Structure formats: structure tokens, C-alpha cells
Structure 1
């Protein structure tokens, strides 16, 4: 989930590395955002996913403007977010690798019931969304989606990313993830 910084060494690269290290202290959930435009599919690991509004149901994620997913999103007009379960670090790492071939590879997926966007079968939950708006923010786009369908796909703990690695969390005493 941490992209390599290809800038030459110097004050800006050092500041970027320090910013990434400090920001990495904040634990985030791990999701995979997938798009389908015609016969073309692609997905990427995203830890910037969050809900925005209940009425109407809106979510957002951030994507590097130069990514394949960002390039496909306007043509697709929709996307699906799959929440990864604990133990799915290999899935997250695969979709975080920007050097991998385009597409979803051998990942099993089902078309989302709202838009047909790919929902990974290995997920804990999903949000199937139409693209509502895109806001430019630095070298990323903030993509807001209107939730067309959503659901829980399994039980268990979510995958969490913090400090450059994955960890699992336990439910609070007396409760469970449902």
C-alpha cells in the first residue's frame, strides 16, 4: 500500500518520507476499489475509503490521478468497494502493486447488484456505487460515490493497515463483527 517514491533525494523527498511515516501511525481499514468499463476491469487497494453521508448514502475514496483506476473511472461511471477481512493481506498487496498487469487477474468476483462493478468474492462487505463527483486534491482525486447497493458478505474482523504492515483487531469484549 505504500508506493515507492521515485523523486530524487532532497528536501522534498525527505519531507514526503517523513509525512508518510507520521501518517502511517493512523490505522486504516483496507479495501479494494474495482471498476469495469465495457470489457475492461481494474482494481486497486485503497485505505482512504470512508462513508460521507447517510441521506443520501455517499462514500468516498482517494486515488492517484495517474493510476489505471482513475483513468477508467470516468468511462465506468461506477465502482465497487470490497472491505477486506483479516488474513487478506496477500490480496491487498497484490492490488497495491502498481506494476502488476491490468485487470483483476485470477481474483474471483461477482458483478455488484447495483451497477455491475466487480465485488471481490473474498470480501467482508461491499458498497456498489455510481460515481457522483470527483474533486482534485493535490496529485489525487477524491471520488464520491452514491451507494446503489451494499451488504455484508461474511463475518469476522476487518483487515487493518498501520505502520507499514497489516494487523487484525479483535472485537470488543462481549461483542462480535457481524
Structure 2
């Protein structure tokens, strides 16, 4: 019996919504220099040797094919005070980077100002996985910009993390 027929998508999302995820913006620069980006809540470290990270864009994403074609990207870890920026960059449209302050990494990808951290990558591999892709990036540079609270997504809402005393 196929497990996909036994689990409905609403139950799957509800149950997995109990696991908090960080919120990142994956960015790249198009040939004309215009920034391209997508918000992801599915980012993880994969390997130390070589240094690899992964994220999981939906096959329906309009931004992912453009980033894939560019062949390099930067993962920008958003801070808890960057929820409005997250909403702006998650919206479809060509002007979603309007007013977004950023600089370009040595690898050519946008680093958004005031993020918690950034991880600059070259595209390593892409694998199909159901209705998503598994994207592996080889890390070429990374840095903590400001040691602040990251933006989290939990049970359909945004929040932040605080350490217990």
C-alpha cells in the first residue's frame, strides 16, 4: 500500500507544523545584476567535508529555476525583526527587492543587510524529491553578521527563539 494515499496533506502539514524551522532567503544575481530570491523554511547543514548545505524548493517555484540557472546562491538567515522583509520577499513579482538593502558577495550573490548570518554557495547538486527538489550547495564563504535571534516559523506563525535561563 502506498503511504501517500494514507496520509492526507492537511494532516501532514498540521503535524509537521509542530516542528519549528528557521526562515532564510536564498538569493542570486541574474545576468543583468538584478537580485533574485526566494524565502525558504527548509534549510539545513549537510556535511563538513566538503562543506555542504541544503534547501528544498517546491517544483512549482518561479524563482528556483532562475537561481538554478545562475549556479550559485547565498542563504541569508533572517533575524526575528525581519518579518516584514520576509513577507515582502515571499510575495511574487519582479519588484520584491524594491528598497531591500544588500551588497554582493565575492561569489556574486546578494547578501541582505542586517541578517543574522549568510552562507554563500556554489550549486553542487539537485535531486528530485516528490513535489520538491533537494538542492545541495557547496559553501564557499560564510559569516555571522549579527548574533541576534533568528526568525522562526512554527504552527503557521512567525516567532523568535530565546534561551532558557
Q: Is the 1:133–1:143 contact (alpha carbons within 8 Å) kept by the matching residues of 2? A: yes
Q: 1:57 aligned to 46, 51, 75, which one?
A: 51
| Distance in structure 1 (CA, Å) of the matches to 2:45 and 2:150 | 16
**TM norm structure 2:** 0.88
Alignment of 1:72-83 (within 5 A): 72-83=66-77
Matched, 1:21 2:11: no
Partner of 1:168: 160
Alpha-carbon shift at residue 172 of structure 1 (Å)? 4.2
Q: Is the 1:157–1:171 contact (alpha carbons within 8 Å) kept by the matching residues of 2? A: no
Deviates more, 1:17-26 or 1:75-84: 17-26
| Distance in structure 1 (CA, Å) of the matches to 2:131 and 2:93 | 21
- Residue by residue over 1:117-160, the C-alpha shift from the partner in whole angstroms, topping out at 9 and shown as x without a partner, is 11111301000000000001112111100000000101211111
Corresponding residue pairs, total: 159
Secondary structure of the residue aligned to 2:81 is coil
Partner of 1:105: 98
| Distance in structure 2 (CA, Å) of the matches to 1:67 and 1:122 | 26
Secondary structure of the residue aligned to 2:57 is strand
Structure 2: which 5+ residue stretches go unaligned?
Answer: none
Partner of 2:81: 87
Q: Is the 2:36–2:67 contact (alpha carbons within 8 Å) kept by the matching residues of 1? A: no
**TM norm structure 1:** 0.82
Q: Is the 1:34–1:69 contact (alpha carbons within 8 Å) kept by the matching residues of 2? A: no
Structure 1: which 5+ residue stretches go unaligned?
Answer: 1-11, 174-178
- Residue by residue over 1:2-45, the C-alpha shift from the partner in whole angstroms, topping out at 9 and shown as x without a partner, is xxxxxxxxxx8x92222212111110111110122312431111
Matched, 1:138 2:116: no
RMSD: 1.8
Partner of 1:117: 109
Alpha-carbon shift at residue 71 of structure 1 (Å)? 1.2
